[in-house]
Amino acid sequence: MNDVQFSPSLMTMNLDKFKEEIRFLNDHVDSYHIDIMDGHYVPNISLSPWFIEEVRKISDVSMSAHLMVTQPSFWVQQLIDIKCEWICIHAEVLDGLAFRLIDQIHEAGLKAGIVLNPETPVETIYPYIPLLDKVTIMTVDPGFAGQKFIDGTLEKIVQLRELRETNDYKYLIEMDGSSNRKSFAKIDEAGPDIYIVGRSGLFGLTENIETSWQTMMTDYKEMTGKKYYKE
C-alpha cells in the first residue's frame, strides 16, 4: 500500500472558519471524512449530503461519507446522486442489504466501505470482504467526538492487514477515533492506511488551522519516527 493518509473529520472543524480551514487543508490531505448521523443509530444529528455539496464548491479533495444511520438505503442513493467518492456503511445495519448496496455503489462508479464498531468482529464482514474498497475500524464508540481510545480495537487493524496480504484483497484500512499525539505510536504499530483526525488530533490544537496542522505533523513525526508525505 501507499504512504499513510490523513482524513480530517469535518464534523469537528471550526465552522465559522469554514472556507479558511478547507482552503488550507485542500493542499495537505488525501480525503475529507463526513459524518452523517440520523439521530437514531446514534443520538446525535450531524452533517448531510448538502454539506458535501458545500465543501465541493471550494474543494476537489475526495469525500468519504460515514453513515451512522439506521436506513442506509435512503442515504446511499442521495450520496450516489451527488457522486460522493466513498460511501461507508456500518456493518451492524446491513443484514440482508450488504451485497445489494455494495453493488449499487460500485455500479455508480463509486467506492464502497464498511465500518465496524468496537465490539463488532471482523468475521462479521467475511461474506463480502472481497468486494470492499475500504474497511473502517472504530477505535471509539460511534456518535461523539472526544472519547477515550479503545486499545483492543487495534487488533482488528492487524487482522485486516493479514487478511489482505493472504488473500490479495484491495481494501484500504482506516481507523476512526481519538487519533492524536497520545495514540499515534500505537496506531502506527497496528498499521492502518488512513488516520481520521478530529478535534483532539487537529482542529482543537490551536486557534489557527495552519499552526494546528504543523503541530499535528510534529506530533506524528515525534511519536512514530515517520514523516507524512504531504506535510
Q: What is the pLDDT of residues 5-63, one digit of tens each?
A: 999 999 999 888 999 999 999 999 999 999 998 766 665 666 789 999 999 999 999 99
Residue of 38, 133, 176, 193 with catalytic role? 176
pLDDT band at 208 (very low <50, low <70, confident <90, very high): very high
The neighbour count for residue 53, using CB atoms within 10 Å, is 12
pLDDT of residue 55: 95
176: annotated binding-site residue? yes
pLDDT of residue 230: 81
What cell does 11 get?
464534523
Sequence spans of domains, the chain: 5-224
Q: Average pLDDT, stretch 138-158?
A: 86
Angle at 181 (CA atoms; ends 16, 43), nearest 5 degrees: 55
178: annotated binding-site residue? yes
Residue of 30, 35, 133, 193 with catalytic role? 35
Q: Where are the beta strands (DSSP E) in 144-217?
A: 172-176, 194-197
pLDDT of residue 196: 97
What angle, rounded to 10 degrees, do the helices at 72-81 and 98-107 form? 0
Of 154, 49, 177, 64, whose CA–CA distance to 113 is shortest? 64
Percent of the chain residues past pLDDT 70, beyond the cut: 94
Question: Is-contact 41 70, C-beta < 8 A?
Answer: yes
Say which CATH architecture domain 5-224 belongs to. Alpha-Beta Barrel (3.20)
74: annotated binding-site residue? no
pLDDT of residue 135: 98
Q: Which residues of 100-124 are buried (b: 16+ CB within 10 A; e: fewer)?
A: ebbebbeebebbbbbbbbeebebeb
Taking the C-alpha atoms of residue 137 and residue 121, their distance in angstroms, rounded to an integer, is: 10
Residue 151 appears among annotated catalytic residues: no
What cell does 200 get?
483532539
Question: Is-contact 88 115, C-beta < 8 A?
Answer: yes
66: annotated binding-site residue? yes
Q: Look up the pTM and report it.
A: 0.94
Q: Which residues of 163-200 are buried (b: 16+ CB within 10 A; e: fewer)?
A: bbeeeebebbbbbbbbbbbebbeebbebebbbbbbbbb
CA atoms within 13 A on the CB side of 34: 26
pLDDT band at 144 (very low <50, low <70, confident <90, very high): low
pLDDT of residue 3: 85
Residue 103 appears among annotated catalytic residues: no
Burial (CB < 10 A; 0-12, 13-18, 19+), residue 74, is: exposed
pLDDT of residue 1: 46
The residue with greater pLDDT, 148 or 78, is 78
* Tens-digit pLDDT profile for residues 52-96: 999 999 999 999 999 999 899 999 999 999 999 999 999 999 989
